[in-house]
Structure 1
Amino acid sequence: MSRAQAALLADGRRLHLHDGPIDLIISADGEADDVAGAYRAAERRFAGVLDELCAELPLLRRETEAEPKGAVARRMWAATRPFAAEGFITPMAAVAGAVAEEVLAAMCHAAPLNRAFVNNGGDIAMHLAPGNCYDIGLVSRPDQPGLFATAQLRAGDPVRGIATSGWRGRSFSLGIADAVTVLAARASVADAAATLIANAVDLPGHPAVTRVPARAIQPDNDLGARLVTRSVGPLRPNEIAAALAAGVAFAERLAAAGHIVAAALHLAGDTRMVGQAVGRIDAGRQGEEVSRRGGGNPS
């Protein structure tokens, strides 16, 4: 029996899907029958996702070249494999983005849609038919989701995925970034890249940074004994600049290799932007909808 729960939100437009740790907010625009069909397809595909992932969890938590069997697991594996040479990474670094991608693919296969998004806790997969666009909001701290800027993504832009990582978010981080938001061609790739860039924003050994072994907090996580950030105390301006510079250098390398389109890195109220300009970015405009857990938020 499936544990998955599905319900329309109070606005009557967006669909909420929930199963264990997976929580999706879904929106689609198009003919009413097509939207209804896409939502039914999303519910059907979502129902088995968690069980599929659990069946291969030991493999997904390891650095490995072995390709998993499940569709979502293969998306995770394919998204993280190109980054294997950049540092420690397992397929789990792309899980949220990959789930969003898989559910969105089921929706788009079921019905023609003008536009749609699947938001998995701030990691977002998007569909844009020609002539359509989304306004997205960018946040500087996932735990305090106020927008510092908005950007418009058009159908012709090379972005269909947005993801955010950082020590203040819902996942563990090896670095000290408050948030790193990445725009990429796919949500799973954005998810993996955001994880690595957030790890790179760092001041190794700094006394103001508290770190503990990941397994002391969550014994069965994929990071094991690696030290994850739990708090960051006051930093001097030159230290903030140095940590961000390390992250920028790493993000620029990923952008030059074509892995990401753009990234925004945030630490202690300071921000750095990397990569290709997408649509238009307006630092003074407030978005119409605030993401439930940070990241970008389409409207």
Structure 2
Amino acid sequence: MKRAPQISFLVDGRRLHLQDGPIDLIIEASGNEADVRRAYSAAARRFTGLLDELCDELLLLRQAANPAHCALRGKVACRMHDAVRPFAADCFITPMAAVAGSVAEEILSAMTDNARLARAYVNNGGDIALHLADGEQFTVGLAERPDASGLLQTMTIRADDRTRGVATSGRHGRSFSLGIADAVTVLARTAGEADAAATIVANAVDLPGHAAIVRRPASDLQPDSDLGSLLVTRDVGELSNCEIEDALGAGAASARELLAVGLIEGAALRLQGEMIVVGPKKIESFGLRGPLRVPAAEGAIHA
């Protein structure tokens, strides 16, 4: 029997809120009224039972991804595995590193399969899947940290851009991080790919063995964590300018490798008030200064 998630519109009457356990989605679609209704109905249908599907394969989802073979069966679980597969041969990563982005992708796919939409997004706690018809665009905004309010900057994603996914990772996020970044925001072709890559780059922003960094085994903090006994960052003391530069430089090197092989479209890395942006000139020249957040402006993604 499928779970009964919470399904309701926000007070503006335009955005749909879907919540079930740890999954919390904000959805907005644009198009003619009938298509928008069909899209929202499709999203609600697909969302119902989705968490149970993931729980059915949770043991496998928490194991290191196999780069050569996927033993998972569920559609979202397979999306998760596909997103982390490019990294699995070189580091420890589980499909859970792409869960938020992959769920957002799946719901967006259900919407666009059932309705003709001009624009749509599914925002899963800051990991965002986008749909843009020809000639359409989204404006997204930048905040200091995932847990901070206020915008520093905005940028536009257009239909002719390859970016259709945005994700942020770091030690202030919902999941554990092996690195010390306040936030790493990644643009990629899908939300699942952005989610996985943000995890990789955020882990690379680090100063191994530094006395000002407090780490604990993930399993001490959450016994069923997919990271097991790996040390995750709990606190970062004051760092010197050179140390911040070194940590961000290590993360930027990782981001540039992913950019070079086409796994990401760009990234913004932030640590203790400093920032590095990696990407094409239109991203680097824009001056991204933090993780993507959503401004309350016409044509923007609303969080």
Q: Check whether TM > 0.5.
A: yes
Is residue 81 of structure 1 aligned with residue 85 of structure 2? yes
- Distance in structure 1 (CA, Å) of the matches to 2:89 and 2:28: 36
Is residue 289 of structure 1 aligned with residue 296 of structure 2? yes
**Counterpart code for 1:288:** P
TM-score by length of 1: 0.94
- Distance in structure 1 (CA, Å) of the matches to 2:88 and 2:288: 34
- Distance in structure 1 (CA, Å) of the matches to 2:168 and 2:146: 8
- Structure 1 alignment gaps of length 5 or more: 291-296
The residue number in structure 2 matching 1:258 is 262
The residue number in structure 1 matching 2:301 is 298
TM-score by length of 2: 0.93
Shift of 1:249: 0.4
The residue number in structure 2 matching 1:36 is 37
The residue correspondences of 1:155-234 to structure 2 (distance < 5 A) are 155-234=159-238
Q: Larger deviation: 60-69 or 260-269?
A: 60-69
The residue number in structure 1 matching 2:11 is 10
- Distance in structure 1 (CA, Å) of the matches to 2:184 and 2:248: 10
Q: Does the C-alpha gap of structure 1 residues 53 and 287 become closer, same or farther in structure 2, counting only changes over 3 Å? A: closer
Given that 1:183 and 1:190 are in contact with CA atoms closer than 8 Å, whether structure 2 keeps it comes out as yes
After superposition, the C-alpha distances for 1:2-43 in whole angstroms (9 at most, x for unaligned) are: 231100000110000000000000000000111011000000
Shift of 1:147: 2.2
Q: Secondary structure of the equivalent of 1:81? A: helix
- Structure 2 alignment gaps of length 5 or more: none
Q: Larger deviation: 65-74 or 152-161?
A: 65-74
The residue correspondences of 1:103-114 to structure 2 (distance < 5 A) are 103-114=107-118
Matched length = 292
Given that 1:153 and 1:278 are in contact with CA atoms closer than 8 Å, whether structure 2 keeps it comes out as no
Following TM superposition, the consecutive aligned residue runs of length 4 or more in structure 1 with deviations greater than 2 angstroms are 145-148, 277-284, 286-290
Supply the RMSD in Å over aligned alpha carbons.
1.7
Q: Larger deviation: 143-152 or 109-118?
A: 143-152
- Distance in structure 1 (CA, Å) of the matches to 2:82 and 2:119: 25
**Counterpart code for 2:57:** E
Given that 2:268 and 2:276 are in contact with CA atoms closer than 8 Å, whether structure 1 keeps it comes out as yes
- Distance in structure 2 (CA, Å) of the matches to 1:283 and 1:234: 23
The residue number in structure 2 matching 1:148 is 152
Percent identity (aligned): 58
- Distance in structure 1 (CA, Å) of the matches to 2:287 and 2:35: 33
The residue number in structure 2 matching 1:294 is none
Shift of 1:138: 1.9
Q: Secondary structure of the equivalent of 1:86? A: coil
Q: Secondary structure of the equivalent of 2:167? A: strand
Shift of 1:281: 3.4
Q: Does the C-alpha gap of structure 1 residues 185 and 278 become closer, same or farther in structure 2, counting only changes over 3 Å? A: farther
The residue number in structure 2 matching 1:123 is 127
- Distance in structure 2 (CA, Å) of the matches to 1:283 and 1:266: 10
The residue correspondences of 1:244-255 to structure 2 (distance < 5 A) are 244-255=248-259
- Distance in structure 1 (CA, Å) of the matches to 2:279 and 2:287: 16
Given that 2:42 and 2:114 are in contact with CA atoms closer than 8 Å, whether structure 1 keeps it comes out as yes
